[in-house]
Amino acid sequence: MTDQSPPRRRGGQLKAETITMAHGGGGKAMRDLIDDVFITAFDNPETGDMEDQARLDPSPHLAEGGRLAFTTDGFVVDPLFFPGGNIGDLAVNGTVNDLAVGGAKPLWLSCAMVIEEGLSVDVLRTVAATMRAAADRAGVRIVTGDTKVVDRGAADKLFITTAGIGVIPPGRDLAARQVRPGDIALVNGTLGDHGAAILNARGDMALDSPVESDCAPLNALMDAVLAAAPGTRCARDATRGGLASALNEIAQASGCGIDLEETALPLRPEVRGCCEILGLDPLYLANEGTLVLFTPADQADAALTAMRGVPEGKGACIIGQAVAAHPRQVVLKTLFGGGRRVDMLAGEQLPRIC
């Protein structure tokens, strides 16, 4: 029998040490870059034909009544490498998490890169390898992409845009509008670690015990929670704008008020200290592996146990609840017994955090 599978594309060999404009020109130099760096890192059955689009079969994943979920995000973090990760795993995990908090099983990602002329090829190889490792950890495949090169000074080293497709099982409908008074708010770990890691990597502070970014995929954690607490109302990953912005979005969509307990907020001493020194509020610091979710009160303990049963949820805790009082507002109950309104972030506390 004749083998009908498509022939594998022979990989070109990239000889340059830095990226030049020729690598974005569409010719042999670009083909060698794509083959040697990206196809080597991302190779999987869906990339085999090397057409201008990935051809995907959702039928094994999409049960009757299920829905597709689709998201996209851009990543411009500075610096590219930071304690606990780099722009590569940040791009993969960020898009995986945007799907996971909606109850979707992430399946496929795209990756578009804008590369500044002069970027080291070794840096690009490292980022691509990290993306593949992050995709493998999350159980997703990078199946299509694009490469552009811009003049030196027209960008800052490397920007990445990823889009993701996942499947939402039948009957699952996580949404902020579902939250009701009495629902319990939980987080899966410490707050502000990613923001503190970026600050430290930029040299804005010198910590004796450097904080690592919490960058991690959250789809396994969400699977565990939804199996244990199927009534979970909604989840949000607390990225730019931090926990405060995520909670304000939920309060606005649901019409509920949200009470937070200051004593319950999980903060590393290093993060608390750097915020005090720099005048930052840790509630607004970015996270890249931390989410907040709401469950009915009678399922909160089950959700908490499920979160603590996976590596990304070891530090899970209850931080507050939805209430009928002060609708659409988030209020922090302070150490001294008073209350402080926690508003949506007006601007950007830290630029280029992800």
Q: Give the pLDDT of residue 347.
A: 72
Superfamily of domain 176-341: PurM-like C-terminal domain (3.90.650.10)
Which segments of the chain belong to CATH 3.30.1330.10? 21-168
Beta strands 158-168 and 105-116 are: antiparallel
Phi, psi of 330 (to 5 degrees): -105, 125
- Predicted TM-score (pTM) of the model is 0.94
Query: What is the DSSP code string of 189-202?
Result: S-SSHHHHHHHHHT
- Does the domain spanning 21-168 belong to CATH 3.40.920.10? no
Q: Give the pLDDT of residue 12.
A: 63
Which segments of the chain belong to CATH 3.90.650.10? 176-341
Q: Give the pLDDT of residue 335.
A: 85
Lowest mean pLDDT among 2-6, 35-39, 106-110, 167-171: 2-6
Query: What is the DSSP code string of 252-281?
Result: HHH--EEEEEGGG----HHHHHHHHHHT--
Phi, psi of 335 (to 5 degrees): -60, -25
CA distances from 253 to 246, 248, 292 (A): 11, 9, 15
Please tell me the distance from the alpha carbon of residue 265 to that of residue 317, in angstroms, as a whole number: 8
Cis peptide before 210 (omega within 30 of 0): no
Q: Which residues pair with 142 in a beta bridge?
A: 109
Q: Give the pLDDT of residue 9.
A: 53
Q: How confident is the model at residue 264 (pLDDT cuts 50, 70, 90)?
A: very high
Q: Give the pLDDT of residue 65.
A: 86
Please tell me the distance from the alpha carbon of residue 178 to that of residue 217, in angstroms, as a whole number: 24
Q: Is the pLDDT of residue 208 over 80?
A: no
